[in-house]
Structure 1
Amino acid sequence: MMGRRVSLFTIIIVILGLVIAVESFLIFRSVFSIKGDNKKLKEYVLSLEDENKRLREENKLLGNKIDSFYNPKNSPPDTPEGWLTYRDLDEGFEVGYPDVCRIIVGGTEKDKKLSITSGAPDLKADINIVSLHKYKNPNEYIKEVYDYRIYVKESVYINNIKYYIYKLSGEKHYYVLLKNKTHIYDINSPSEEFLIRILGTFKFI
């Protein structure tokens, strides 16, 4: 009888030992699995940081290549409530316009014309987009198109950007000339107030 009790006790001890050994093994494996996952996570975070650094450097190089009178990207456009936004990815700009107006796109493949029009004479503007292959700079464009009859009426600040408002002698029409690396943007309107509001929504993209 005593021998059986000893054997049963021994079996229980052995079983408990096996249970403890299995649990220890599972805990040990879990710890190393977590360490492995942490290592992978660290490697992933480092790869994201490297990619972010590369993108910042590319953006910096792109910014250095921008050649313009001003850079409307520096300030967000001030689009009035109830206005819509026209975006031209080919020409690289966007502009807002009242929802009562409509957009008409015309011109040629190289020299595009965008008209914002409505039934009201004061809600009208044109954006003539002229390739710099034809004119080296805005002064040459002014000479050829307006024969120097255009002059600076005043300057205004919109979104912390200084714009020169031009006027054509003998006509009630107002102009702003912008330039980026590829095009001249001749934005004009019979209403100076509407022209200024349009400029507040214009930006290069």
Structure 2
Amino acid sequence: MNFETPSVSLNTSPENESHDEQFVNNDTLEFKYKVLSYYNEGKSINQCAKYFNIDRRIISRWKKVESQIFQTKIKRKRCAVKSIIDRSHFPILETQLYSWINEKRHQGICLSIILIKLQAINMFNTIYKNTPESSLEFKASNGWFGNFCYRKNLVLRRITTSGRDLPKNSVEIIKQFFSENCQYTKHEFFKDWQHG
């Protein structure tokens, strides 16, 4: 009996090794172009998978977003195409929270991060009350909030300056001011007011 190991593996041949090295970096946009172009020449997904040495499911995913891949300009080597699938852990919560935010924005209400997070926690407690998800602790962390805004394409504008509220008796103060200064004409009043 000869227990020597063969020097060349049975599964690979020298031609295949050099062919595999050609397509090592398979997540660049250029590579996606090549694979989809090869597929569009009339080849099957299995033929493409064998030729480029990648999983056929990856080609199927790229095929679903083919128009986005071909419309993307090559600005850099790597480019991720946004997924069609909602990757959130709590999609019902995020959908309802998104509609709540839009409703408040249409009413002209300015929402802060803290207010949105508190609303998310309240919604979580009501939506997932008697479900298996109720055993999970939903924290509405900064990371979750950032990803939520990214998934829903939200931009949170912050108020950078704030003015003081008018006093409650502002109407009376203005009336009193004009009654005390009624001896001036409009022209004199604004002239004095501008100069100090």
Normalising by the residue count of structure 2, what TM-score does the alignment of the two structures yield?
0.22
From the two aligned structures, give the one with the greater helix fraction: 2
More strand by share: 1
Higher relative contact order (CA 8 A, sep 6+): 1
Could you state the TM-score of these two structures normalised by the residue count of structure 1?
0.21
